Amino acid sequence: MDLVRLSRLLSSPRPMGLSVLQCLDPLRARWAGAREGPAWLRAVGPTGPTSAAFSSAPSQLPLCQGSQKNTHNRSSALSQPSPMANQEEEEEESFGTLSDKYSSRRMFRKSTAQLYNLRLREQSVKEDEENELDPKSWRGRRNTPYWYFFQCKHLIKEGKLAEALDLFERQMLKEERLQPLECNYTVLIGGCGRAGYLKKAFKLYNDMKKRDLEPSDATYTALFNVCAESPWKDSALQSALKLRQQLQARNFQLNLKTYHALLKMTAMCADLRMCFDVLKEMVHKGHAVTEETFSFLLMGCIQDKKTGFRYALQVWRQMLSLGLQPSRHIYNLLLGAARDCGLGDPDVASMLLLRPREEMVLLQPPEGRRRARRAARAGMIDGVSASLHVETLEKQLFLEPSQALERPQEPREASVSSEAQPEVETKVDPADTALASWGLEANLLTLGAVPPAVVSFGTVTTPADRLALMGGLEGFLGKMAEHGLRPDIKTLTLLAEVVEPGSPAESSLLTVLDSHQVEADVTFFNSLMRKKSKLGDLEGAKALLPVLAKRGIVPNLQTFCNLAIACHRPGDGLQLLADMKKSQMVPNTHIYSTLINAALKKLDYTYLISILKDMRQNRVPVNEVVIRQLEFAAQYPPTYDRYKGKNTYLEKIDGFRAYYKQWLKVMPAEETPHPWQKFRTKPKGDQDSVPEAAVDGGHGGR
């Protein structure tokens, strides 16, 4: 009987191993015969009759009687979906996708110690920036916004604008977390205005508006002032005009101080015509015209280098006609106009400045003149009512030459007197005409009539000629004495720059200095040295050095730079450099540039190489001006032909070119500091460290 069973097992279409597995573990046998199994296992399923008979006869397999009952129960339970089956299906769907997360690499880079150090350095910089941005808890005593206002004001008065900005931004806002007031912003904007820090001032102004703080008149005055003091005039003018348009759109009424700041901005950044536009608006709003108003008009006159001196004299006369008392600052501005500006067209200047006052159109209506006289009699000189006819003054200032020739008919008496003196009117020596007013004791600063012999201006080209039209040195100082003013050191320094070189007036400046008890400074003597050096008088310039020592004044680098102007010979220039070494002073780039210019004018390449050697020895950085001078010296003349003939001046140019090429490789370059760099509190990671070329139109970059 055992053999029969064995033969049946062997002859069955189902493999024996599967039957054995089914007896041992029905669940595992089901997994082996399910759809997950191989194809040959699925093909031989329970379809044959033999397998059916075998599975339905429990007596034939006593070893797995209880197992088949359990298998039936488990098969009915497994027919329903179970959590394990769902998990298996999910694993099937995600099969093969884990490699993207764990083992996929898009690029391979070689790492070195230098790259690792750079990564660590960048990481440390980011951590430092994050630590700076994170506000630290304040452990000191609690202060008020008014305390910070007075502290910032005190620091700004001492010239410590960067410390004031750091105190406000770091300690007050980040550490103490106080809510600032309008006065805190205004005092800082005012400090930025005195320094010309345009970008920071408008940044504070925008922060002020974001905090819903209402700007005051002082805030707008400081903003216009920072535009006037900015080193980049074009961008400052655009910012000021934009701010003015915003105020006009809000119908904001400016006070007199704010109008004066706006007038100063137009004088420094724009031209005189825009100054008169602001002045007309100011008069229309009913503000009084004061002496300070005319000082800003004079600043606008100085910006016109061609005709500014004539404009300044006309503005001066209009101020005196209103009964206003000039200040020392006004006199200094007149000297600045005489030094920097020209007279313009002589015919127009003669008609406007030399004709009698009765022929001139009065710039003020009769009611305004009576009001001005009443104010002058009442002692109200500082605030005259603003009834000035600005349009008439503007027309006379910007009078065209064609209109100037259309002079009104002169009275008969004047024509008769002119016929009686034909030589005075027609034969005028051009060399003496500019000094005619000095010889005839006439002064264009006086409102009185000019002597009849002075009929026109001749050649007025030098500052000394323009000073002569104002009475010369004695006449100018006498006019100041009439108004109760005494010259200061700035006035005398300007006079030293405009007096005739080598004249008795120049020699009497030291006497005037002592008579008015004015303490001299090194700038005054530097002006005298510069005038003598420009004339080539090196010994006369050196003669002023004992005078400096006698007065206890120490020479500075500007003093030696003025002496270098007169060092045309190689011995003088090299001796100057030796004297500076004995004085323990290192020459700067300006001194070397002056000596290079003197050597370049004579094409002395031996002298030029000696200067470059000394410059290399002292390791003085080279700026753009020096490079431009040396590049010009290293060029051959356009008509120079070395094979055609011998040129004694250019025979050593090849040696200079060879030395200059090697010299450039070892010399350091001078890095021009940004004018706002010293006011920045956080150069690294701060918003102000953006290149200024993007803000200021490309000016002032390194």
Give 8-41 pLDDT, tens digit per residue.
655 555 544 444 444 444 444 444 444 444 444 3
Alpha carbons 659 and 675: distance in angstroms, whole number: 35
Q: Give residue 532's identity as a one-letter amino acid code.
A: K
**Contact assessment for residue 359 and residue 461, using Cβ atoms and an 8 Å cutoff:** no
Structural Rg of the chain based on CA atoms = 47
Q: Give residue 99's identity as a one-letter amino acid code.
A: S
Query: CA distances (Å), 676 to each of 42, 171, 240, 579, 655, in order?
Result: 87, 22, 19, 35, 43
Alpha carbons 159 and 164: distance in angstroms, whole number: 9
Q: Which residue has the tokens 């009512």?
A: 385
**Helical H runs in 285-389?**
291-302, 308-321, 328-340, 346-353, 366-377
Quick one: 696 exposed, middle or buried, by C-beta within 10 A (0-12, 13-18, 19+)?
buried
Extract the tokens encoding 535.
């004339």
Instruction: Count CA within 13 A, CB hemisphere, residue 559.
Output: 21
* 3-state SS, one letter per residue, for 580-631: HHHCCCCCCHHHHHHHHHHHHHCCCHHHHHHHHHHHHHCCCCECHHHHHHHH
Residues of the chain with confidence (pLDDT) below 70: 1-111, 116-117, 124-125, 127-141, 355-389, 400-442, 449-456, 649, 678, 681-702
Per DSSP, the three-state class of 384 is strand
Extract the tokens encoding 654.
């090849």
Alpha carbons 574 and 614: distance in angstroms, whole number: 9
Q: Which residue has the tokens 């031996």?
A: 606
Per-residue confidence (pLDDT) for residue 371, from 0 to 100: 52
Query: CA distances (Å), 137 to each of 152, 173, 176, 262, 626, in order?
Result: 22, 12, 7, 43, 53
Alpha carbons 4 and 439: distance in angstroms, whole number: 160
β partners of residue 20:
none
Sign of the dihedral defined by the CA atoms of residues 371, 376, 378, 380, in that order: positive
Quick one: 102 exposed, middle or buried, by C-beta within 10 A (0-12, 13-18, 19+)?
exposed
Alpha carbons 600 and 568: distance in angstroms, whole number: 10
Taking phi first (over 0 means left), then psi (-120 to 50 degrees means alpha), and beta for anything else, what does residue 388 get? beta
Alpha carbons 557 and 586: distance in angstroms, whole number: 9
Per-residue confidence (pLDDT) for residue 360, from 0 to 100: 47
**Helical H runs in 602-702?**
605-617, 624-633, 653-666
> What digits encode the pLDDT tens for the residues 549-588?
999 999 999 999 999 999 999 999 999 999 999 988 999 9
**Contact assessment for residue 141 and residue 153, using Cβ atoms and an 8 Å cutoff:** no
Encode 520-551: b = buried (16+ Cβ within 10 Å), e = exposed: bebebbbbbbbbbbeeebbebbeebeeebeee
**Helical H runs in 57-197?**
65-78, 83-93, 99-102, 113-133, 145-157, 161-166, 182-195
The DSSP symbol for 141 reads -
> What digits encode the pLDDT tens for the residues 74-99?
444 444 555 565 665 655 666 556 55
Q: What angle do CA 578, 582, 583 make, to 5 degrees?
A: 115
> What digits encode the pLDDT tens for the residues 465-500?
999 989 899 999 999 999 999 999 999 999 999 999
β partners of residue 289:
384
